[in-house]
Amino acid sequence: MPATAAADDSATALPAGTSAAQSSFSTGVHAGSHDSAAAPILSIRDLSVAFDTGEGGVLTAVDGVSLDVPRGGVLGVVGESGSGKSVTALSITRLLPQPSGRVTGGEIWFEGEDLARVPLERLREIRGNRIGMVFQEPMTALNPSHRVGRQLAEAVLLHRRCGAAAARERALELLAQVGIPAPAERLDAYPHQLSGGMRQRVVIAIALACDPDLLICDEPTTALDVTIQAQILDLLRELRRRRNLSVVLITHDLGVIAENATDVAVMYAGRVVERAPAPELFARPLHAYTRALLRAVPKLDGVPKTPLFSIEGRVPPLSELRAGCRFAPRSGLAHTEAQLVARPPWVEVAPAHWVEQCPVCAPVPAISPAPPAGRRGR
């Protein structure tokens, strides 16, 4: 499994126990189908993560996030820099930066086990065998001083009882599967001898070495040029189809989401503000933040010389976050003090379409009332 820059094994410390804005996106063209009736392969409920920043105090980076990854589907997670996408992803397999990062609440259900609570030994088994990870910068996941073949074979040996020759054979097979030309020659290459796109293919091959059910991809193509990006996304799509993989795809790029995701979660300042099946989200974005993200996407058929829309300001630092509607200061819409201090309810406004219903930023009538517990799905 590729390592993160700050991988660590520490245990978690948990407490016991509208007007439809039609967008120009056509979605699901390539996303393929998934079984929406089946139980999600991964269900995150009310996840909170904090960092102990020393003098700066303990700051909450992820605040009550809930996500579902459909079995055989692709959950696209989108949001600006600093919205908590990577911290959420790292929490799933307990790879938060240590010693500062800690899951402070919530559940992470994966195939009947709560990953936030399983013993570390069990988590290690799941990490390599069931959940693969691909990060933005392939060089951080590869060891620059070892040949690609050795790194792949090591990943194979970590999860399979087999001899060195069989591991090398499997490494070769994996390189071919991820579309590396002349794979036998590449086995003996060092990472720096490969292009960025090839390196990312190697990282994907390592992630696939254990034949995972779930692949978590955190900005897997951001460091690559657009042509290579398209090739890597094609590869992920093909692998998903062939292996029935479920995928979490984290990206800044709504275009990538539109082309690849079956479901979308929009994150802002440590929370999910909206989530829905992709076609529904693009056809009927309800939260002002989702709409702003959509408006900020450059359009080829836009009126020439019209300035590109961009969202004013930036995601506030963790120390400045308030409990209420976090998008309020950037929304250009007047909020009352009460709306800034009370967390908006999380409401299912259409089947599987959830929104953080700030009366100003998401003024939609609830089609179905919030469930009695008030937190289901959050």
Shortest Å distance, C-beta 277 to ligand ATP: 22
Separation CA 268–CA 154 (nearest Å): 38
Q: Is 100 in the site for ligand ATP (CB under 6 A)?
A: yes
Q: Is 266 in the site for ligand ATP (CB under 6 A)?
A: no
Separation CA 220–CA 358 (nearest Å): 32
Q: What is the largest CA-CA distance in the chain?
A: 67
**C-beta of 31 vs 87, nearer to ligand ATP:** 87
Q: Which of the choices Mg ion, ligand ATP, none does residue 97 contact, using the CB cut-off of 5 to 8 A by kind?
A: ligand ATP
Q: Are strands 131-134 and 42-52 parallel, antiparallel or unpaired?
A: unpaired
Which positions from 34 through 73 interact with ligand ATP, judged by CB under 6 A?
A: 51, 53, 61
**C-beta of 40 vs 84, nearer to ligand ATP:** 84
Shortest Å distance, C-beta 268 to ligand ATP: 9
**C-beta of 98 vs 193, nearer to ligand ATP:** 98
Residue 129's contacts (CB-CB under 8 Å, 6 or more residues apart) are: 159, 210, 211, 212
**C-beta of 100 vs 140, nearer to ligand ATP:** 100
Residue 207's contacts (CB-CB under 8 Å, 6 or more residues apart) are: 1, 2, 132, 133, 134, 215
Chain residues binding Mg ion by CB under 5 A are: 85-86
Q: Which of the choices Mg ion, ligand ATP, none does residue 51 contact, using the CB cut-off of 5 to 8 A by kind?
A: ligand ATP
Residues 30, 260 contacting (CB under 8 angstroms): yes
Residue from 82, 128, 324, 344 in contact with ligand ATP (CB under 6 A): 82
Which positions from 284 through 343 interact with ligand ATP, judged by CB under 6 A?
A: 318
Stretch that binds ligand ATP, among 17-25, 82-90, 183-191, 208-216 (CB under 6 A): 82-90
Shortest Å distance, C-beta 12 to ligand ATP: 15
Shortest Å distance, C-beta 133 to ligand ATP: 14
Shortest Å distance, C-beta 12 to Mg ion: 20
Residue from 84, 106, 197, 344 in contact with ligand ATP (CB under 6 A): 84
CA 226 to chain centre: 20
**C-beta of 11 vs 166, nearer to ligand ATP:** 11
Q: Which of the choices Mg ion, ligand ATP, none does residue 53 contact, using the CB cut-off of 5 to 8 A by kind?
A: ligand ATP
Shortest Å distance, C-beta 223 to Mg ion: 12
Residue from 4, 12, 48, 86 in contact with ligand ATP (CB under 6 A): 86
Residue from 71, 85, 240, 287 in contact with ligand ATP (CB under 6 A): 85
Residue from 23, 83, 151, 339 in contact with ligand ATP (CB under 6 A): 83
Q: Which of the choices Mg ion, ligand ATP, none does residue 183 contact, using the CB cut-off of 5 to 8 A by kind?
A: none
Exposure of 165 by Cβ count < 10 A (0-12 exposed, 13-18 middle, 19+ buried)?
exposed
Does residue 10 come out as left (phi exceeding 0), alpha (psi in the -120 to 50 range) or beta?
Answer: beta
Q: Which residues bind ligand ATP (CB under 6 A)?
A: 51, 53, 61, 79, 81-87, 97, 100-101, 252, 318
